[in-house]
Amino acid sequence: MSNELIIDVSPSHVEIALLENKKLVELNRENSDLKFAVGDIYLAKVKKIMPGLNAVFVDVGYEKDAFLHYLDLGPQFQTLNKFLKQASSKKLKLTTEIKVQPEPDIQKDGKITDVLKTGQTILVQIAKEPISTKGPRLTSEISVAGRNMVLIPFSNKISVSQKIESTEEKSRLKKLVQSICPKNYGVIVRTAAEGKRVAELDPELRRLVTKFENAVVKLEKAVAPSLILGELDRTIGMIRDLYNPEFSNIYVNNEEIAAEIKEYVGTIDSEKKKVVKHYNGKLPILEYFGIDKQIKASFGKTVSFRSGAYLIIEHTEAFHVIDVNSGNRSKTGDQESNALEVNVAAAEEVARQLRLRDMGGIIVIDFIDMHGNENRQKVFEKMKEAMASDRTKHNILPLSKFCLMQITRQRVRQEMSIETAEICPVCKGSGKVTPTLLFIEEIEQKIRYIFEELHKQKLTIKLHPFVGAFLTRGFPSKELKWRWKYRKRVRIEETNSMSFLDSKFYDENNEEIIF
């Protein structure tokens, strides 16, 4: 499989597209001035205690108060509190060891009123970004993420990712990290550390400790609410989570950012620095690599995926609904086998859409009805296979007898939403229309269906003059290309009575072809 990253850097945002075999599977967009992102650490103030919820609302500087539940305080909360008081009062001398006498762990079934009070200053980390009408979700289990490991201050626990299957490798990594980890720091060893040696892990661990120490220095003069530790470079942060050694190319349209990424990749694997390339072409980078076209085709309410079949994706406050439709695809077998074929293909596209749009929460998929339990099981297995490469935590339930599937997917930020509709050139902006690019693709699909499935010999297409002019201009025009491709007569007829982005198809007998 060929993996590529395409990075579009602009003054307002950074966009990172992940391609697998040239197909867009993930799109990450971060505003340059983004605040309250996952992982950011804030000095905050308790605003309101909610005993009924066993939680508090906290002021982190966002327009809405953030939410912190008792279970998210972490067992070492009292130690963290003691550390915060000493750091703020200059009593703490920074070394690679946290010089704080550990306090007893708080009780798992305790009450929020026993440990927090209104107006109290606390150290918190963003666990979920603000979504819709909700403020950020917080945790007091502070951590600092690196590529190969996650540093956890005030803990002595060393744990290894469950995704590393080898028991011997888990044991080796645990012993290795225990030998280099400073006192009163815990570490979670990530999947990327598999096979790594001490020479690769020790420098990263030292960088993470230094990063946390530098943040602690800010506590001395900080006044709540204020940011204590944020991602220094959002682009590098996203690359850290997305990068793997299998990438064949990383293209960046900003020379300075390209140099930073090359340096970062060099710290992981010096031989892989050559995959990072600066793009300085005339066309916008996303257009040059065909990503703009894929975005317009993938982010609408309706998404086509194979031979006329399509998904309808609806979003609500409570959950997401995806409806699978067979469309006008040709049916060669019985209803059950056709339904299975469409549903298996739909499972692949649904998995791609979840990653691409970063849809979280509850997702309900309405597959085409199938009567056989073995067929429903095949679709379930296909969905699990397609979701295997999704790094976000998720859970998939088998299809019900009504062919409904439920998926839960961790939601830590607002889902990716891109407006693909264009301003109508006829009414000059009072309405929106399907992107012209997608309309042309739809016409091409219908032409293929007419010639290859219906075996027609001649075709006349009636279109609005604006669209007709676009398809017949230049050499070779779209109209001429279709004639060459199918070796059939294709004629574009411009008609003022046609609405913009509407079309009618007629065969050699001048009979309208209805879809």
pLDDT per position as a tens digit, 252-290: 998 888 888 888 888 777 778 888 999 998 888 988 998
Q: Note if the bond before 476 is cis, omega within 30 degrees.
A: yes
Q: What is the pLDDT of residue 176?
A: 94
> What are residue 405's phi and psi, to 5 degrees?
-120, 140
Cα–Cα separations (whole angstroms), residue 113 to 70, 182, 392: 9, 33, 33
Q: What is the pTM of this model?
A: 0.64
The verdict on whether omega for the bond into residue 225 sits within 30 degrees of 0, i.e. cis, is: yes
DSSP 13-74: EEEEEEEETTEEEEEEEEETT--S-TT-EEEEEEEEEETTTTEEEEESSSSS-EEEEGGGS-
Enumerate residues 6+ apart whose C-beta is below 8 A from 311.
302, 303, 305, 322, 323, 324, 325, 346, 349, 350, 353
In tens, the pLDDT along 300-321 reads 788 888 767 889 998 887 889 9
| Distance from chain centroid for Cα 283 | 25
CA–CA–CA angle 208, 213, 217 (5° rounding):
150
- All domains of the chain, ordered by start, with CATH? 3-34+233-291 (3.30.420.40), 41-229 (2.40.50.140), 299-409 (3.40.630), 422-513 (3.40.1260.20)
Position 466 scores a pLDDT of: 84
Residue showing tokens 């990438």 = 247
- The Cβ of residue 357 has, within 10 Å, a number of other Cβ atoms equal to 19
Output the pLDDT for position 421.
46
Beta strands in 331-479 (DSSP E): 361-366, 394-396, 404-409, 422-423, 432-433, 458-463
Residues of the chain with pLDDT under 50: 94-96, 419-423, 428, 430
List all residues 6 or more positions away from 322 whose beta carbon is below 8 Å from its beta carbon. Answer: 311, 312, 313, 314, 350, 353, 363, 364, 365, 366
Let me know how long the chain is: 515
For tokens 């600092």, name the residue.
Answer: 144
Return the exposure string of 149-172: e unless at least 16 CB atoms fall within 10 Å of the residue's CB, then b: bbbbbbbeebbbbeebeeeeebee
> What tokens does 223 get?
């006044």
The neighbour count for residue 282, using CB atoms within 10 Å, is 5
Say how far apart CA 339 and CA 314 lie, in whole Å: 22
Instruction: Please choose, from the candidates 241, 286, 285, the residue with its C-alpha nearest in 3D space to the C-alpha of residue 264.
Output: 241
User: Which pLDDT does position 359 carry in this prediction?
Assistant: 86
pLDDT of res. 58: 94
- Cα separation, 287 vs 111, whole angstroms: 55
Q: Which pLDDT belongs to residue 438?
A: 63
Alpha carbon distance 178, 156 (integer Å): 9
- Per-residue model confidence (pLDDT) at position 315: 84
The CA distance from 131 to 360, in Å, is 11
